[in-house]
Structure 1
Amino acid sequence: MVSATVPFAVVQAARSWGCEPMLVQAKKVSPLEPVSRPPGPVNLSPGPNPGSDLQQSDAVSESLPPTLKHYYCLSRMQQKVDTVRRCVHALDAKTVIVFMNHTRQLKDAVYKLQARGLVAEELHGDLGKLARSTILKKFKKGEIRVLVTNELSARGLDVSNCNLVVNVDLPTDSVHYAHRAGRTGRLGRKGSVVTICEESEVFVVKKLQRQLGVQFQSCEFVEGKLVIQEEK
């Protein structure tokens, strides 16, 4: 079984399949603990297994490329798109994926980025197949610098040279954060993930930090540079 993303419930079920199954990840290979196969069909639904949430969190954390740097910065809702622009310039990122939660937001964000001199396009399911294919080809060739998309449209998106992911809207949970973050830092390359949030949303970032076991550095963009802020 090969997949870019594997739910933890599937990993659990896989322990009862075949003989001495192996879990192969991008950064390591480890044996799956063998278990006796239960009678009847295998239930892929996560059951009320004590500690399963912790195990799932560990599995998600391990799926994050180790070369990633995680940041968050504060911004008012109305200024988030301009914060994206300042972020792109401060990190001198050439291939950027910007995540938003709602398709209706994408076009407005693209217009604002284009008005500020960035070559940006939107990618979502309402576009025709030819349009999506054309946009992706241009993005992979470097003709588009910023791709503004949503979670669903980016499923399976493989752009090896992407060096920055920006969350304009917070992901719903740690699994979705890991999926977004995994678009960069591939094949051992360095990558950055910047989450733009309002002050009232910082607690969500802290929760993601605890669940994933990675450090989110607070930052701001000043005079074209990323400046790390001291945690309060």
Structure 2
Amino acid sequence: MNATSFTALGIEQSLINSLSEYGITEPTPVQAEAIPAILRGADVLARSQTGTGKTLAYLLPILQGIDAGRKAAQKLVIAPTQELAMQIVREGEKYGQDRGIGVLGLIGGAALKRQVEKLKQHPQLIVGTPGRIRELIEIRKLKMHEVNTIVVDEVDQVFQLGGAADVDRILRSALRGRQLVFLSATVSPETAALVKREMNAPVEIGIDPDQSTAKGLEHFYFAGEERDKVETLRRVLRHYNPKKAIVFVNQTETIAEVQAKLNYLGISAEALYADADKLSRSRVLSGFRGGKFKVLVASDVAARGLDIEELEMVVNYDPPADAEHYVHRAGRTGRMGRSGLVLSLVTYRQIFIMNKFAKELGIPLEERRLYGGKVLKPGAAPGGRGQSGTRKSADKGPNAKIAADASGNGSTRDAAAREETRRPSGPGKSKSEPARGGKPPARNDSQRERDRKNKGAPKWLKDKKRP
């Protein structure tokens, strides 16, 4: 028997059969360490990178510990965001259905009355966001007297989003001898204090504590001017051509702007807003998962905890606030041992932030530059800046001309026209003096305006630069 098999960890055969239906045959390291401890009822603090299988590490043992014949809430999972909570609900339904376990999601933004009606069906597993769970407890609709295990997933994010008071109130309402399981990619001082105060001899699990991000990730940054960011974003998306990518921005008001510009440039994109209603958010995420568009533009708050299959790339359109936010953004890709790419777009003054993250996280975070459609290391560009190169096939199409111009590869006709306006017409003639027998050359500013139009610049860029 394999020492790291689910059977050896104590998982029952019915759950193992369900796992095999989805191609899961061996536990990940965090699952191998957490499952036995949770099964025996110990309090657990698990620190592991995002995308390493933490959800199943606690979900399998708590599903196994539910008595399906008892119609009462027995296990509670708290998640920081609506999206993560509903992902956990789907996983709970997937593996708990054959065991006759009822699963209910209680999230803010959904109809409270409808949730109260569903609670009357006595689901055994409750998953929700802190505020809504606390609200239902305080109006005495969610009974906690038989809840014997409470899981707080991404506990540091729960605290960052202001859920500390809600979690404390929820813990006060449960049994005194309840089991606590806290999971996170990082452990803040606030989390450590809560562990010390609430847990009884916790089992601490740390998977690769010196490795903050998944091993299958590559980390690069592109430096340039702030005004060129959208074009740089377009070029890296065309070059790497991912099936799906998330673009993170820091300010909510920037989300719509980036989305609109990408769509104008021929890259299908949708926006995810933290304050959007549940139906709008569900529609956008469903479309993204289904491949209806390639790029999801979101803020940290909107995209916390998202688990998207085939997400190959994360782009930091703005630098993350700190190393911890970098870890959570990067954790959206390269999940469960897969490869992934994390790109950051920074100004020259922000390069020090990338160096800081590399040092704090212990990761290779290297600079890359775009030359002639190629992504190269600094100093490796053939012929220097603007040198022509072979473009990747993904850059062919309606935007290929824009890309060529952005790489410094304007048409020969345009280059000749520009050269003609600069060249003296004869010996001793100034640039502004007409050539013998010819018409005076056009003014430089008018010529540049025509050049810009001939190059097919996007309308928003023309408007921005027009005098």
TM-score bin (small chain): 0.7 to 0.9
- CA displacement at 1:129 relative to structure 2: 1.5
Is 1:144 paired with 2:326? no
Matched, 1:172 2:321: yes
2:200 counterpart letter in structure 1: G
Secondary structure at 2:368's aligned position in 1? strand
Counterpart CA distance in 2 for 1:224 and 1:138 is 30
Other-structure match for 1:219: 368
Q: Deviations over 1:96-144 (max 9, x none)?
A: 0001000101111111100111110111123221111000011011112
State the partner residue of 1:21.
203
Who is 2:173 aligned against? Answer: none
C-alpha distance 63-208 of structure 1, shift in aligned 2 (>3 A): closer
What is the aligned counterpart of 1:67 among 191, 194, 216? 216
- Contact kept, 8 Å, 1:14 with 1:21, in 2: the verdict is no
Mapping of residues 168-207 of structure 1, within 5 Å: 168-207=317-356
Give the secondary-structure state (helix, strand or coil) at the position aligned to 1:217: strand
The whole-number CA distance in structure 2 between the counterparts of 1:190 and 1:104 is 31
More off after superposition, 191-200 vs 12-21? 12-21
1:134 maps to 283
Partner of 2:307: 158
Measured in 2, the distance between the counterparts of 1:230 and 1:12 equals: 48
Task: Report the equivalent of 2:153.
Answer: 3
Q: Contact conserved, 1:95 with 1:164, CA < 8 A, in 2?
A: yes
The runs of 4+ residues in structure 1 deviating greater than 6 Å are none
SS in 2 for 1:214: coil
- Separation (CA, whole Å) in 2 of partners of 1:142 and 1:208: 32
TM-fit CA distance, 1:8: 3.0
SS of match in other structure, 2:293: coil
Q: Retained in 1: the 8 A contact 2:358–2:364?
A: yes
Secondary structure at the residue paired with 1:171?
A: coil
Q: Aligned partner of 2:280: which letter?
A: A
The alignment partner of 1:172 has SS state of coil
Structure with the larger strand share: 1
Q: Computing the radius of gyration over CA atoms, which structure comes out larger, 1 or 2? A: 2
Aligned equivalents of 1:97, 1:12: Cα separation in 2? 33
Kept in 2, the 8 Å contact 1:68–1:190? The answer is yes
Among candidates 378, 384, 396, match of residue 229 of structure 1:
378
* Deviation, structure 1 residue 2: 5.1
Aligned residue number for residue 39 of structure 1: none
The answer to whether the 8 Å contact 1:15/1:21 transfers is no
CA contact (8 A) 1:95 1:142 kept: yes
Shift of 1:12: 6.6
CA contact (8 A) 1:166 1:194 kept: yes
Query: RMSD value over aligned CA atoms?
Result: 2.1
Any unmatched runs of 5+ in structure 1? 29-58
Amino acid at match of 2:306: L
Does the alignment pair 1:119 with 2:268?
Answer: yes
Instruction: Give 1:84's aligned amino acid.
Output: L
Quick one: percent identity of the two aligned structures?
32
Flag the 1:91–1:158 CA change in 2: closer, same or farther, 3 A: same
Inter-partner Cα distance in structure 2 for 1:66 and 1:102: 29
2:231 corresponds to: 82
Q: Does 1:99 align with 2:225?
A: no
1:124-181 Cα distance to aligned partner (Å, 9 max, x none): 1232211110000110111120000001111121113211000111111100110111
Structure 2 counterpart of 1:144, one-letter code: F
Question: Can you list the C-alpha shifts for 1:33-58, whole angstroms capped at 9, x where unaligned?
Answer: xxxxxxxxxxxxxxxxxxxxxxxxxx
8 Å CA contact 1:89–1:224 kept in 2: the answer is no
Q: Give TM-score scaled by structure 1 length.
A: 0.78
**Aligned equivalents of 1:75, 1:100: Cα separation in 2:** 17
Q: Using a 3 Å threshold, how does the CA distance of structure 1 residues 223 and 216 change in structure 2: closer, same or farther?
A: same
Of structures 1 and 2, the one with the larger relative CO (CA 8 A, separation 6+) is: 1
Q: 1:19: Cα distance to partner?
A: 3.9
CA distance in 2, matches of 1:141, 1:228: 35
Aligned residues: 198
User: 1:7 Cα deviation (Å)?
Assistant: 2.9
Q: Name whichever structure is richer in helix by fraction.
A: 2
What amino acid is aligned across from residue 21 of structure 1 in structure 2?
A: V
